[in-house]
Chain A
Amino acid sequence: MWREEAPPAMDELRGILESHERDPGELLQILIKAQHAYHYIPDEAVALIADHLRVTRAHVRGLVGFYSFLSDTYLGEYVVYLSDNITDRMQGSTGLATYLCNRLNVTLGQTRQDGRVSVHFTSCTGMCDQGPAGLVNGVAVTRLTRLRMDLIAELINARQPLDAWPRELFLVEDNFRRSDVMFRRAFDPGAALKAAMLRGGDETLKEIQHEESVDPSSGHARRQGADETLKELYRSDLRGRGGAGFKAAIKWETCRDISALERYVVCNADEGEPGTFKDRVLLTTYTDVVFEGMTICGYVIGASRGILYIRQEYWYLKSHLEAVLARRREADLLGRNILGSGFAFDIDIHWGAGAYIAGMETALIESIEGRRAKPRKRWPLPVVAGLNRRPTVVNNVETFAAAANIALKGGAWFAGHGTSHSAGTKLFCVSGDCERPGIYEYPYGVSVREVLRDCGGLDAQAVQISGPSGVTISRLEFDRNLAFEDLSTVGTCMIFGPQRDMFEVVRNFAHFFRHESCGLCTPCRVGTSLLAALVEKVAAGKGSPMDVAEVQRISQLLKTTAHCGLGQTAPNHLIDSLLKFRGDWDKRMMTTEFVPAFDLDAALHEARQLTGRDDALAHL
């Protein structure tokens, strides 16, 4: 274990604190910067931060203990996190982790004696199409191989600053393999926003085009465009792309209609569902479309503030995102007087710090407010009382991108694609055992088989749809359709070839949920732990039919009683696997009814030694 020699100087932290307001909502953002500066949150920092924000030290410690990327122990000058999704494992991550640890002479999870480096696992980093992947001091590294691990170890041992590392280590590709009507060509920044504002007549068109003639106090041009754009959104029948599939127009209208001094637009870029990476690609290449969708939402609902909440795994996108925002301000697409219409709206970026639950919308709001990302009570809904208890629209990145396209091309255009219950096109994140992993845009209703054919994965035995919280389908179901009315999905297809042991898949997922449960409610907090332990028992060859019954019983309990979607969906993979891939369980099971998790006879070993007995009666 690395021991702290002397407390670090706090000058850098003082600078960080000065750049933030004395607003408790800034806490998480400050902690992230402090973690980057010191590679942990020392006690001295806890005290300074608590004083600055006038919150308790316990509150600060509460956040440090909650978020994966914050730590109260020193992690070293170089902190390496390796992605632990099943796809990374299939690409050899486990062996590579051992290899890197050997090269660096560190124990996994422990800081090297000289304080230089530590290596850890983390949940999926969203690079499944170019794994095994990881993060070095917060920056994504992809396509890891032994050769790359050699290089990384050398650079760390030579104390090379990250800026001096070869760029190719950090290369992240879009892998956009198929585009349909939405992401076919480049987007002209401002075009959709203008279209939204201009809806409802030529008069207003002139006013906005000539900028000077709009009377901001009348707000007439603005409101008409907003109402017409909302109508287009209704016509489009756009449903949320973040999982639940709620109609975007209803959400926007409800939020707009509640009287409040301020309301907010929040873009959910937490993208924590393992196997999902479409939002990363959108934020890389279609950045303007996403920001424009948020701005249009602000315009429609009458908000002046938007927040992009983005997972820290995508930290490498920071300067890019900030540059696009700056460019949009420059072009009057954000700011006090957007396109001369008098409409004011701006977007800030809030970073997450490693928590899958932070993607759940009320937990996300808590996180933006600088607290532990715990889901709120079910009522009131965020559209009624969300961020700062004011009406808030929370939508997924892809939902905003679709809304921008709808503003530009109209609702009928959008509804003309897809199926009757699932309008438009959808991005699918394809990874695992196939020739061409990456992003595919299809109209809703495409069959799994078609996706498999296009990506070169037809020999699959299973596909995990929508991530660990979704559905496991076997080859008997490949003709099912990806749409809300059949296989509803955030757009994730993890492909498992015939050589894969499907039990290893549940083993990975069960640990994921155990690690990511927020801990608020009993069934999820304890249940995910008990489930992971049962899976390990089976993995160790000690499983019996009673354990399978137990898995089913606890699964049912979680589905019925857990507070939020995380706990309610955490057992899906187990239930599906037992139904469809029972063979991979059975081959490790003992045949008896019940086998205890521990060896009774071995447990008596110590007693035998102490009593000096080793006769037949001293054995079980």
Chain B
Amino acid sequence: MSPDSKKTFRLDGREIPFREGQTVFDAAMAAGVYIPHLCHNPDFEPHSSCRLCTVIVNGRPFASCTQPAVAGQDVRSDTPELNEMRRDLTDMLLVEGNHYCPACEKSGSCRLQATAYALGLQDSHFPQLFPHRDVDASHPDIILDRDRCILCGLCVRISRSVDKKNVFTMTGRGIATTIVVDSPSGLLADSKVSRDDEAVQHCPVGALMMKGEAFKVPIGQRPYDRAPINEDSVARFRAREAALHG
């Protein structure tokens, strides 16, 4: 870190150093403090839609993934109230779709499932909404199962900014929001998507998956079978920070 980076803010009583332009979230994770999150992936532009990363800054709630770090501010994150809200948000994402973890190919590498575990969410409290959403299995390599989509918008952002293909967009609104695919028929098979697209690699749940690869890593040896998501996320974040800024 450069010498002018002595700025800090307080997070749950601990001093967190940050660089100018960093968000509360980025600084906290780089300092080894896990803030639960689902729609954010530090390699891509933040979106602030899942709201799991909500923290209290100087008494007011903000999404930490988009909130700029400011010297001297007081941030609360690991509080019983906030963790309960995060559990409720995770629960909401589970009941909003049709999730069947025990039978899901993504089990063990799904960030939604792992986050639920990390937050101590034992079972669903809210009633299931049982939406009717289409599965698109038309593509030879890729499957889009909207039932498991949590509308994090990562595929939309990545396809636009990294793959430069703009394959995914959202349509509908409110509870009827769904992913649409850009092609004349609206099907993946007729779109420009291909197996090496970044957009397909980063889906946090089992909504966008490669066909035929689901069980390459056996259940029990998958990332979140080995280590809880908080450790894994923080480790990845620190490695990334070290690579970027030494």
Contact = CB atoms under 8 A, between A and B. Distances in A.
Assign chain B's interface to a size class: 35 or more
Contacts of B88: 553-554, 557
Interface stretch (B5-13, B92-100, B238-246): B92-100
A523 B90 CA distance: 10
Interface in A477-525: 514-523, 525
Nearest to B166: A56
Contact of B170 (A372, A560, A561): A372
B83 to A, nearest CB: 12
Interface stretch (A59-67, A306-314, A452-460): A59-67
Given A377-B48, A521-B49, A525-B96, A58 B168 contact: yes
Given A47-B184, A521-B51, A522-B93, A58 B172 contact: no
A189 B166 CA distance: 48
Interface stretch (A160-168, A197-205, A332-340, A527-535): A527-535
Interface string B26-47: 0000000000000000000011
A355 B173 contact: yes
Given A514-B174, A561-B85, A523 B92 contact: yes
A355 B173 CA distance: 10
B63 interface: yes
A59 B175 contact: no
Nearest to A562: B51
B22 interface: no
A491 B52 CA distance: 35
A378 interface: yes
Contacts of B184: 47, 57
Contacts of A244: none
B92 A526 contact: yes
Contacts of B61: 560-561
Contacts of A533: 127
B54 A560 contact: yes
Interface of A: 47, 56-59, 61-62, 64-66, 355, 357, 372, 377-379, 514-523, 525-530, 533, 553-554, 557, 560-563, 597
B95 A526 contact: yes
A66 B67 contact: no
Interface in B43-71: 46-52, 54, 61-63, 66-68
Interface in B118-173: 126-127, 129, 150-151, 166-173
Interface in B162-209: 166-177, 180-184, 186
Nearest to B180: A58
11 contacts: A58-B180, A58-B181, A59-B166, A61-B169, A65-B172, A377-B48, A378-B48, A379-B68, A521-B49, A526-B126, A557-B88
Nearest to B175: A529
Contact of B166 (A58, A66, A517): A58
Given A519-B151, A522-B93, A61 B186 contact: yes
Nearest to A63: B171
Nearest to B68: A379
A563 B96 contact: no
Contact of B175 (A519, A521, A523): A519
B210 interface: no
Interface of B: 46-52, 54, 61-63, 66-68, 85, 88-89, 92-93, 95-96, 126-127, 129, 150-151, 166-177, 180-184, 186
A248 B192 CA distance: 48
A557 B125 CA distance: 14
Nearest to B65: A377
A613 B52 CA distance: 48
A557 B126 CA distance: 13
Contacts of B167: 58
A374 to B, nearest CB: 9
A522 B51 contact: yes
A344 B240 CA distance: 50
B182 A56 contact: yes
Contacts of A65: 171-173, 176, 180
B59 to A, nearest CB: 12
Contacts of A56: 166, 169, 182
Nearest to A65: B171
A377 B66 contact: yes
A528 B174 contact: yes
A95 to B, nearest CB: 27
Contacts of A379: 66, 68
Given A57-B182, A519-B176, A522-B50, A66 B171 contact: yes
Contacts of A516: 174
A267 to B, nearest CB: 24
Contacts of A64: 171
B93 A526 contact: yes
A307 B171 CA distance: 26
- Of listed B51, B52, B127, residue having the most chain A CB within 10 A: B51
B2 to A, nearest CB: 24
B60 to A, nearest CB: 10
Given A65-B173, A378-B62, A528-B174, 19 more contacts: A56-B166, A64-B171, A65-B176, A66-B172, A66-B173, A372-B170, A372-B173, A377-B66, A379-B68, A514-B174, A519-B151, A521-B49, A521-B50, A522-B51, A525-B174, A529-B175, A560-B85, A563-B51, A597-B127
A519 B180 CA distance: 14
A456 to B, nearest CB: 38
Contacts of B47: 377
Contacts of A530: 92, 126-127, 129
A522 B173 contact: no
Nearest to B50: A522
A597 B129 CA distance: 12
Nearest to A517: B174
Contacts of B50: 521-522
A59 to B, nearest CB: 5
A517 B173 contact: yes
A518 B63 CA distance: 18
A62 B67 CA distance: 28
B69 to A, nearest CB: 12
B89 to A, nearest CB: 5
Contacts of A562: 51
Contacts of B186: 58, 61
Nearest to A527: B92
A527 B126 CA distance: 10
A527 B127 CA distance: 12
A523 to B, nearest CB: 6
Contacts of B95: 526
B171 to A, nearest CB: 3
A49 to B, nearest CB: 14
Contacts of B129: 526, 529-530
A527 B51 CA distance: 12
A50 to B, nearest CB: 9
Contacts of B126: 526, 530
B46 A561 contact: no
A490 B149 CA distance: 37
B151 A525 contact: yes
B182 A525 contact: no
B171 A61 contact: yes
Task: Identify the interface centre among B50, B92, B173, B181: most chain A CB within 10 Å of its CB.
Answer: B173
